[in-house]
């Protein structure tokens, strides 16, 4: 900036970088496109996996978009905004993370041509807003109601396709729907009530649903029963130990007989705890904290099964599954606080013991017990099950699904192109670019399957225009033909598609509205040995 006498006026700190106008916009667009390109090859059932190795050598192998974007350390601020799109999509729907990022990248790519043609960013963003609103209306029109569990299984199966579950899709889809139905309450599904417990060993096909809870713990004493039928479960958030004072205390005992009475008092205190538990009718004790060795002895003597140091989340899940209450004081336990289960049993899984709480009458929390041959396989199975649970929950809540395999994107794109001509003005150009951008999903699906994307898009558009129910025609990734995806059992929740498009449009608009990037110089740490007390050089004290 210069004053009237052509003297420079310094406004920003020395070393600050500033990009303005088109340069700033194109830099931000390039960064966002780079993020989209990073995950694009993972889209669809034929998508490839990524191997991510962090700084300490931990390896993650996945094709889950949000996992990839969380693991890679993105630095550019515009790129971080695109990563947030994936996180939002994941928290709202559980699936469609790659779709949302790829659409966002393509919207920005299409907008570059408009910016080069001197179409103002405000016009583009306004056109994108109109297109996104119209897209949501079109998706509502083409959605199909969910009226059977069979359709929900297709939703789960679609989410599992392309993940590392092999031929077990149908089985896993069935148990995911069973789990969601078990915790459904008045049309709402709290997916946090479906717990996934994983253990390396056997194969993916041995994954099962347990109407109860599995915890990775063993009983605390070998003399305790390994199996308890008709279990009455006491849940404690406190320790079964002698209470210690909050401040340091020292007890001096001068008489040996007093020592015995001191120890007896401690013993009686622990015995009273166990007696209170026995009196309540409990035959299983689960504690969030520790259980004293002597208390373990008395519990074993009474034939009570006990586990200690459970996670708070596990304790809360057991309370939901068994209709029990978590108690904070052993003296206050009574029969009405106890949870009930058919069987509580410690089973040997591999080399470790795990406790299975099963046979709950009306469990409001259930467990999917996942198995797999290696650590990487079982982690990917867990991610696949999490996605499937979320999408089935969303489908139950909304009661609507759409065909998959690029069908809704092509239908919305065709209708948006017609809608654009009715709007007029320069916004029409932005709406046309929006409709063009949506073609990136079937294009990428075809590309990742080794099919010619141009032929696929042409076939899809032809099928959508010619067939009476053309909105359900997607791309068959084996033949490249346009096929009715409802008959091919490829369906996705309506919310996944609506959220993906709205999130993508919002981040694209936010990036397009930035015309000035001011980057402060990062503070550098002083070189070793520089500076003494108060920042003064050595020897200047």
Q: Which residues are catalytic?
A: 64, 97-98, 387
Q: Which residues pair with 370 in a beta bridge?
A: 198
The three-state secondary structure class of 129 is helix
Q: Which residues pair with 372 in a beta bridge?
A: 200, 201
For the record, the structure tokens of 140 come out as 């509502």
Cβ partners under 8 Å of residue 30, min gap 6: none
Closest C-alpha to 106, from 74, 123, 131: 131
Question: Is the distance from CB of 219 to CB of 388 less than 8 angstroms?
Answer: no
* Angstrom distances, CA of residue 140 to CA of 136, 395, 412, 483, 502: 6, 14, 11, 21, 14
- Residue 233 host element (H or E): strand 227-236
Burial of 334 (0-12, 13-18, 19+ CB in 10 A): middle
Q: With the C-alpha atoms ordered 374, 377, 383, 389, is the resulting torsion angle positive or negative?
A: negative
Closest C-alpha to 518, from 3, 8, 27: 27
- Cα(198)–Cα(220) distance, integer angstroms: 22
- Cα(34)–Cα(360) distance, integer angstroms: 50
Question: Is the distance from CB of 87 to CB of 55 less than 8 angstroms?
Answer: no
Question: Is the distance from CB of 117 to CB of 371 less than 8 angstroms?
Answer: no
- Cα(143)–Cα(439) distance, integer angstroms: 19
Neighbours of 473 (CB within 10 A): 28
- Cα(450)–Cα(367) distance, integer angstroms: 38
- Residue 58 host element (H or E): none
Nearest 5°: phi and psi at 532? -115, -140
């Amino acid at each position: 900036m210069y004053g009237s006498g052509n003297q420079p006026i310094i406004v920003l700190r020395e070393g600050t970088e500033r990009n303005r106008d088109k340069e700033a916009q194109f830099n931000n667009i390039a960064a966002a496109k780079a993020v989209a390109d990073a995950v694009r090859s993972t889209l669809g059932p034929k998508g490839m996996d990524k191997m991510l190795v962090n700084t300490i050598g931990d390896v993650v192998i996945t094709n889950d978009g949000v996992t990839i974007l969380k693991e890679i350390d993105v630095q550019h601020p515009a790129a971080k905004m695109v990563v947030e799109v994936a996180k939002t999509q994941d928290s709202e729907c559980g699936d469609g993370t790659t779709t949302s990022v790829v659409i966002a990248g393509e919207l920005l790519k299409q907008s570059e041509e408009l910016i080069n043609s001197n179409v103002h960013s405000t016009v583009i963003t306004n056109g994108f807003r109109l297109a996104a609103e119209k897209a949501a209306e079109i998706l509502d029109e083409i959605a199909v109601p969910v009226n059977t569990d069979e359709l929900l299984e297709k939703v789960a199966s679609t989410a599992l396709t392309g993940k590392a579950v092999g031929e077990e899709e149908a089985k896993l889809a069935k148990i995911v729907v069973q789990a969601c139905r078990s915790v459904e309450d008045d049309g709402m599904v709290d997916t946090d009530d479906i717990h996934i417990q994983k253990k390396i060993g056997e194969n993916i096909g041995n994954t099962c649903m347990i109407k109860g809870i599995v915890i990775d713990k063993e009983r605390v004493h070998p003399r305790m029963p390994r199996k308890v039928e008709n279990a009455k479960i006491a849940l404690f958030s406190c320790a079964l130990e002698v209470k210690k004072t909050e401040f340091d205390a020292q007890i001096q005992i001068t008489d040996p007989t007093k020592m015995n009475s001191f120890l007896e008092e401690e013993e009686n205190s622990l015995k009273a705890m166990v007696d209170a538990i026995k009196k309540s009718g409990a035959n299983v004790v689960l504690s969030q904290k520790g259980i004293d060795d002597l208390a373990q002895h008395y519990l074993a003597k009474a034939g009570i099964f006990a586990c200690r140091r459970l996670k708070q989340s596990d304790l809360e899940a057991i309370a939901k599954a068994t209709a029990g209450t978590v108690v904070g004081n052993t003296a206050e336990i009574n029969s009405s606080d106890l949870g009930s289960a058919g069987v509580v049993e410690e089973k040997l899984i591999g080399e470790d013991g795990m406790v299975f709480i099963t046979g709950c009458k009306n469990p409001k929390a259930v467990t999917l017990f996942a198995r797999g041959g290696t650590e990487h396989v079982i982690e990917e199975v867990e991610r696949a099950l999490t996605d499937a649970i979320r999408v089935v929950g969303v489908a139950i809540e909304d009661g609507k699904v759409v065909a998959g395999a690029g069908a809704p994107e092509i239908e919305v794109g065709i209708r948006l192109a017609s809608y654009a001509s009715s709007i007029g003005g320069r916004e029409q150009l932005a709406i046309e670019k929006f409709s063009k951008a949506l073609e990136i999903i079937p294009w990428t699906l075809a590309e990742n399957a080794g099919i010619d994307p141009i032929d696929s898009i042409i076939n899809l558009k032809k099928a959508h225009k010619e067939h009476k129910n053309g909105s359900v025609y997607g791309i068959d990734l084996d033949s490249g033909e346009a096929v009715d995806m409802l008959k091919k059992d490829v369906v996705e929740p309506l919310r996944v598609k609506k959220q993906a498009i709205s999130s993508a449009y919002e981040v694209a608009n936010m990036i397009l509205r930035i015309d000035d990037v001011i980057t402060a110089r990062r503070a550098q740490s002083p070189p070793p040995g520089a500076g003494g007390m108060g920042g003064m050089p050595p020897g200047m004290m």
